[in-house]
Every structure is written in structure tokens, then in C-alpha cells.
Amino acid sequence: MKRLKIVKHNFDKWVYNTNIFTFLVWTALVVNVIYVVLFMCVRHFLLAVIYSGEIVYFFSLLNKRDENGRNSGFQMIGMTMCIYISTVLSILLLGADYSFNSILLSMIPVFFFVEYLLMDSSILSYISSAVILITDIILVLLNDRFVTKSLTVIEKNIFQSFNWIVSIFFTVFSATVFMAEVFNISSGLTNQNRKLNELANHDPLTQLLLRRPMQEYIDKCVEQKKLYSKDYVVCIGDIDLFKKFNDEYGHDCGDVVLKTVSRLIADGVGNGNYVCRWGGEEILILFPDNTMYEAEKVIEKVRVTIEKTIISYKDANVHVTMTFGISSSEKHIMSHEVIESADKALYKGKQSGRNKVCCG
């Protein structure tokens, strides 16, 4: 499964970073060179000349790309029309028994592919596909009347095999890239929605949750307590003497301190717990599955980590401490009561010397 994901990632990267239209032109050019050789071998010089003209046209497409190295939609449709005309002439001169009609049918997904990625006009692909399908049916029905040259059984088998390889390649190529593009657009929208959701739910400076999504998590904990008597713990932390960082070093220093502390808290409380920028330099932590004793131990480790961390700002080494207040829903009914209790514990810690964890 991991190997398949790597293959898919590399293919998606190729679709976005490679000029797939130039690749398509080069492929058609190589196929036409082989056709010219085959027609020369069976002494069908008219078709050899026709396909040689296509080669010249395909080379001109490679020299008519825009500043991004891409061909326009009309140039790509011109290429497919050349293939269409030459395939029709091949059926008229050699007959559908040599499987040229398989190439004609393979042009339908190619038209959808080119139209979708370049022209964005579905009517064009529908009309083109209908014309190709009707042409193929007519040529197959009138096959015996228009054949002007017969080939040997070996020559016939060679053309049939090569034509089927070409048609299968173009069909699979067009369908695969088309679906990859659709999938990537869908994934892009999903990623965009996820990014928008992150912007709406997270503080741009600290990357912590904002109050609204945190309140939603708290409300879920309240429901769990009502249904299953499951308690939760709330902790509020405040950076000690935060104003001095802004006054002495500037607001940029305050931002650096807040970002660093937020990262240390988020890393310290671990997965399954939620950290929020509650307001200013206040940070609220929600422990939905921990007891008061467990949460206090976690926060004490976080407090020590913050105290030992030296934050470098320009030429200064900044030392930071935090005070925390903890409260559990065990003694309270409403969520705001738990938060108020944690806030009172925080205030008590501030009043009694700061840089400590107090329980409410």
C-alpha cells in the first residue's frame, strides 16, 4: 500500500510539473515516424507523404509554445484533427480490416482530455466525439468499396498490432491523466477547505485554537459529563510580567515569546488535549480524559520546561515563566464555573509569587 501511494504521489507530481501536452505531441510524433517507416516498407508512398506532413506539423507545434512551454488549445485540437484526417485516409486507402478505426475511436478520450484541460468547453468534446464515432461507423460499413491496396497477411498483422497498441496507449493516457486531474482538483478543494478551516479555528500568531472552537470542545466535555459522569480538567496559564517584554524589547519580542511558549505548551500536553489562546497572553488547556492529579503533573512539567527555556531575541536572552490555575468539573456543574475556578486559581498563583501551578 505504501508503495502504491508513492507511485501515485510521483504520478500526481508528474501531471502537475511536467508539460503533458508537449509529451503528447512528442508521442504522436514518434508514432507517425513509425507509420512512415511502415508505409515505406509496404510501398504506400501516398500515406507516407501524408504522415510525413504530420511530422512537420508536430515539430512546428513544439516550436510554437507559449512562455510557459505549453501549446494552446487550438494547437492541440489541430494536432488531433491531423490524426483524425490521416486515420480516415488510412482506412480509405488500406481498409478498416487493418485496425485504423481503433485509432479513430481512441481519439474520443483524447478530445475530452484536451478540451477539459485547455478549452473548458464540453460542447466541443461532445461534437468532436460524435463526428469521430459517426465517421468510424460509416467507414467500417463502406470498407470494401474504398480499399485501393491490399497487404499480405504478415503486413496486415503488423499494422493491426501496432494500431491497437497506439489506440490503447492514447485511450489509457487520456483517461488516466483526466482522472488524475479531476482527483487533484478535488484534493485541492479539500486541502483549500482544510486550510480555510484552520485559518478560521486557529490563532494566526500562535497556531493555537481560538475561543470558539475551544468552547465547542468544552461543550462536548459537558455533554460527556451529563451522559456518563465523565469529568474533565481546565487549566489557564498566563505569562508572568508579559508587559515588560513589550516595553523593554518591543512588541516583536512579545510575539516571539508568545509563539515559543505556545509551542512548548502544545508539545508538553500531548495529543488528545486541546490548547487555546484564550485572550492576550492567556492560554487555556482542556484535558478531556485526565484527572486533576494527572493534569497537574503534566502542567508542572510544562512550567519547568518554560522556566528552563532561554528565548533568544536579537542580542538578548529572554527568560520566561508562567503561572497556571487548574480546576476540575468534579466540583462544578456548568463549564463557565470550571473556567472561573481555574481563573481564580491562576490569580491566587499570581498573588503568591508567580511561576507556579495552583489548583482551584
Are the C-beta atoms of residues 264 and 306 closer than 8 Å to each other? yes
Q: What is the pLDDT of residues 197-247, one digit of tens each?
A: 666 788 888 989 999 889 988 998 998 888 888 899 999 999 998 888 878
Q: How much is the pLDDT for 329?
A: 92
Q: What is the DSSP string of 290-305?
A: --HHHHHHHHHHHHHH
Eight-state DSSP code of residue 204: T
> How much is the average pLDDT of 67-77?
64
HEC letters along 82-113: HHHHHHHHHHHHHCHHHCHHHHHHHHHHHHHH
CA–CA separation, 212 vs 202, rounded Å? 10
Q: How much is the pLDDT for 117?
A: 58
Q: What is the pLDDT of residues 287-331, one digit of tens each?
A: 998 899 999 999 999 999 999 998 888 878 888 999 999 999 988
Q: How much is the pLDDT for 271?
A: 82
Are the C-beta atoms of residues 46 and 93 closer than 8 Å to each other? yes
16 pLDDT more than 50: no
Give which of 153, 108, 109 is closest to 132, Cα–Cα.
Answer: 108
When comparing pLDDT for 109 and 197, which is higher? 109
Residue 320 neighbours by CB distance under 10 Å: 20
Least confident range of 101-110, 274-283, 299-308: 101-110
46 pLDDT more than 70: yes
Q: How much is the pLDDT for 248?
A: 82
342 pLDDT more than 90: yes
pTM, entire model: 0.49
> How much is the average pLDDT of 86-96?
82
119 pLDDT more than 70: no
Q: How much is the pLDDT for 317?
A: 85
